[in-house]
Amino acid sequence: MKSIQDFAAKKERKEKISMVTCYDAWSARIVAQTDIDTVLIGDSLSMVMHGHPTTLNASVNLMALHTAAVARVLNNKFIVGDLPFLSYRMDLTSNVKAAGQIMKAGAHALKLEGAKGNLELIRHLVDSGVPIMGHLGLTPQSVFQLGGFKVQGKEHLHQMAIKKQAKDLEAAGCFAVVLECVPASLAKEISASIEIPTIGIGAGPDCDGQVLVLQDMLGMSDDFSPKFLKKYMDGHRLIKEALNTYHSEVVSAKFPTAKESY
């Protein structure tokens, strides 16, 4: 996929959209050679790559740095960059500057969390040529407001509010919306009620696409196994085994041999 028009066309044709996060050139080179439709330089990199407990530590500079690393080597897929915590909640000039920095680093579109208080900015950015992806449900930048990383939209009133926010994001010009950790029935209803694609994570099978954090789906962590996650590889074990094999071959002088020598 190369454009926001491809997102619309996929929904129109009832074809699912696959998205993974991608934070660096190393993994981008691999993702570039796959069938994955689109990548997200998510602010989850604050946790996955930098060891912070939440996404709140991601800055515009950090997001731009990672976006540039991915964009340098990934030129065959649509790249969405996250606007980090509070960077789009300031005055218009600062918000636009933050958006511009990540777009100029190589993103083709930006994602921001929540609808309340963001609609005017979304309209402004869209009118300025910046495609915007929304993000509803569990919005990790609001983790302390939400009381933790919890499923959202369990009660009827909250479900109604999320449904309305999805409509508002569509009306403001978003080309897609991430639905994170909401009941599958709610995600299904929202997906049917808006024309732009929904991209689910922990939102059941009826979204128009799915996104997972690359390191999570590759099983890189042995202590992160939320219900919504499917691990397609036991990366943690495989990498540990490879490192231990290397170590034992070094200490037993099995590596390097003449084959690896000049």
In the residue annotation, 189 being an active-site residue is answered as no
Catalytic residue among 12, 15, 155, 180: 180
What are the DSSP calls for 208-255, one per residue? SEEEE-HHHHTT--TT---TT---SS-HHHHHHHHHHHHHHHHHTT-S
**Closest C-alpha among 68, 51, 65, 59 to residue 88:** 59
Query: If you ran DSSP here, which 8-state letter would residue 83 be given?
Result: P
Looking only at residues 78 through 107 of this chain, which bind ligand KIV when binding is defined by CB under 6 A? 82
| Strands, E assignment, the chain | 17-21, 38-41, 78-82, 109-111, 132-137, 176-180, 198-201, 209-212
Selected from 11, 37, 43, 131, the binder of ligand KIV by CB under 6 A is 43
Q: How far is the CB of 212 from ligand KIV (least distance, A)?
A: 8
- As measured in angstroms, the least distance from the Cβ of 182 to ligand KIV is 12
CA distance 132 to 241: 42
165 touching ligand KIV, by CB under 6 A: no
Choice from 10, 20, 38, 42 touching ligand KIV (CB under 6 A): 42
Cα separation of the two ends of the chain: 44
Structure tokens at 36: 């994955």
Q: Which residue has the tokens 């074990």?
A: 237
201 binds ligand KIV (CB under 6 A): yes
Residues 173-192 that bind ligand KIV (CB under 6 A): 178, 180
Q: What is the closest distance, in whole angstroms, from the C-beta atom of residue 23 to ligand KIV in the complex?
A: 9
- Residue bearing tokens 């979304």: 122
Specify whether the CB–CB gap between 114 and 139 falls below 8 A.
yes
Q: Is 211 in the site for ligand KIV (CB under 6 A)?
A: yes
Compute how many residues bind ligand KIV; rule: CB under 6 A.
Answer: 11
Q: Which stretch binds ligand KIV (CB under 6 A): 39-47, 95-103, 150-158, 240-248?
A: 39-47
Asked if 213 is part of the footprint of ligand KIV (rule: CB under 6 A), the reply reads: yes
* 44 near ligand KIV, rule: CB under 6 A: yes
User: 21: helix, coil or strand?
Assistant: strand
Interaction between residue 215 and ligand KIV (CB under 6 A): no
Which residue ranges make up the site for ligand KIV (CB under 6 A)? 21, 40, 42-44, 82, 178, 180, 201, 211, 213
Active site residues: 180
